[in-house]
Structure formats: structure tokens, C-alpha cells
Amino acid sequence: MSRVANDRAAKNSGAKASRLPDTPPPSDTVRLAEALIFCASTPVTEADLAARLPPGTDMRAVLAEIAGAYADRGLVLARVAGGYAFRTAPDLAPALRGGVPEPRRLSRAALETLAIVAYHQPVTRAEIEEIRGVTTSKGSLDLLLETGWVRLRGRRRTPGRPVTYGTTPAFLDHFGLDAVSDLPGLDELKGLGLLEGRLPAGFRVPQPGDAAGADEDPIDGPPLPGDAAAE
């Protein structure tokens, strides 16, 4: 996990464990919820859990019970990508580095493209190139689509109907974020040492969000030929 992800996991860890209910939910219900979260390959939402647990289950109480049980363990219950998942306790991250195969590293161009998509979505390829100041290669966007961190969102209501790009729940999950709005802002980026020196006058970090653009139509059905690298 990156430092940002660890900080996010610590902040999101647990479903408010300090507010455990006076009457704990039935242990069988808690155990089932724990198993459902543990076995899931992606973060599990409250709605997903409610569909599998007894009717009338107090989901907040169940999640708080699980979070409290794992508060001092090697794993913690974290809220990521709008759901819940077990993650390594942030304070153990230094001891675990090197024990997991390194994932495929992204090129600088791909990282810059990913950052632009995350902060400026919905964004077209032409807009990405304008922000970066260089032509974006077909390979960078293809790689991000392949990793599952970037998706085709829709089409702009402009001539040519260019495709717009945005991030995915897998992106949020990987970086330990609950929502795009949890991406670090200017002050946090400075605190992490990612922005150093004197910044240009008027420099700002966009307020990230994933709401539909006013001039954007969703993509219906399968993507058209060339969409992955178009526009």
C-alpha cells in the first residue's frame, strides 16, 4: 500500500468502532457478515450485506462490531470504493514491503495520464493532451484501461462526440479511497512531499469528482471500434 493509501485506510478503518451499540447484534449475523466481506474479491456494500443477512439487521451495528473486533489485529475493516473490505493494518506496512511481488509499474506518461483522469474526469483525450502539453500515446490509455483503473464514461456533446474517461471502483480500491473526492488536495500533497518548491502563482489542485458532466452522455451498450484509444 502507498503512503496515501495507508493514511486513507487508517482514516476510513472501521465502521465507527468507537460507537458500538449497547446491545450487540447476534454473533451468527456478525460472523456471516465477516465471512462475506472476507471472501469477496471486491469491497462489499451495505446493500450487498443486507441482501444476505437476516431481514431487519442493523448494518451499522454489525459493521461496528466487526471493526471493533479487528481494531488491534493485523487486519482492519476499511471503507473503500463505497464498500467494506479487510486491509492490512497501516502500521504494519513497513514490515510487509518486499513480501509481495511488485505489480507492473506504470510509465511516467501513464501516471500523469491517470492523475489527470482522476482529478479532471470526465475528460477527453484531447483535454488530457492539452493539460499535459504533449501528445498522449495510444499505449498509455490502453494500459490504464487494461489495469481496470480507467473506464470509458460517455461522449461529449461536441462535434465528433469524443469519448470521455473516468476512474473505476478498482482504482479507488487499489489506492484505499472511498470516493474520488477523497483524493488528496493541495495541502495534503504538500504535506506528503509530492509538491515541493515555490509553486506558480494561481496554481491549484482541481476538486476531484465523478459526477456526470453537463455536456456528457453515457455510453450505452458495448464501446464502438476505436473507443479505447480514440479522441
Determine contact, residues 9/81, Cβ cutoff 8 Å: no
Helix axes 125-132, 108-120, angle to 10 degrees: 110
Helix and strand tally (H, E) in the chain?
A: 10, 6
Read off the C-alpha cell for 182: 477523497
- Do 3-95 and 108-196+204-229 show the same overall fold? yes
**β-strand partners of 75:** 88
Residues of the chain with pLDDT under 50: 1-6, 9-10, 13-21, 221-222, 224-231
Helix (H) or strand (E) holding 123: strand 123-124
Determine contact, residues 150/144, Cβ cutoff 8 Å: yes
Q: In sequence order, which ranges of the chain are alpha helices (DSSP H)?
A: 3-12, 27-39, 46-52, 59-69, 93-96, 108-120, 125-132, 138-147, 169-174, 186-191
Res 17: pLDDT: 41
Taking alpha carbons only, the member of 116, 115, 113 closest to residue 136 is 113
Q: How many angstroms separate the CA atoms of 122 and 206, rounded?
A: 12
3-class SS of residue 180? helix
The cell 460472523 sits on which residue?
31
Fold of the CATH domain 3-95? Arc Repressor Mutant, subunit A (1.10.10)
- Which residues fall within 8 angstroms of residue 139, CB to CB, at 6 or more apart? none
Res 51: pLDDT: 92
Cα of 205 vs its chain's centroid, Å: 18
Q: Secondary structure of the chain: what % helix, strand, coil (to 5)?
A: 45, 15, 45
Sequence ranges of the domains in the chain? 3-95, 108-196+204-229
Res 220: pLDDT: 61
Q: Pick one of 3.40.50.300, 1.10.1760.20, 2.60.120.1440, 1.10.10.10 as the CATH number of 108-196+204-229.
A: 1.10.10.10
Taking alpha carbons only, the member of 127, 114, 230, 221 closest to residue 168 is 114
Q: How many angstroms separate the CA atoms of 176 and 190, rounded?
A: 19
Local structure of residue 70 (DSSP, 8 states): T
Read off the C-alpha cell for 219: 455510453
pTM over 0.85: no
Q: How many angstroms separate the CA atoms of 231 and 227, rounded?
A: 8
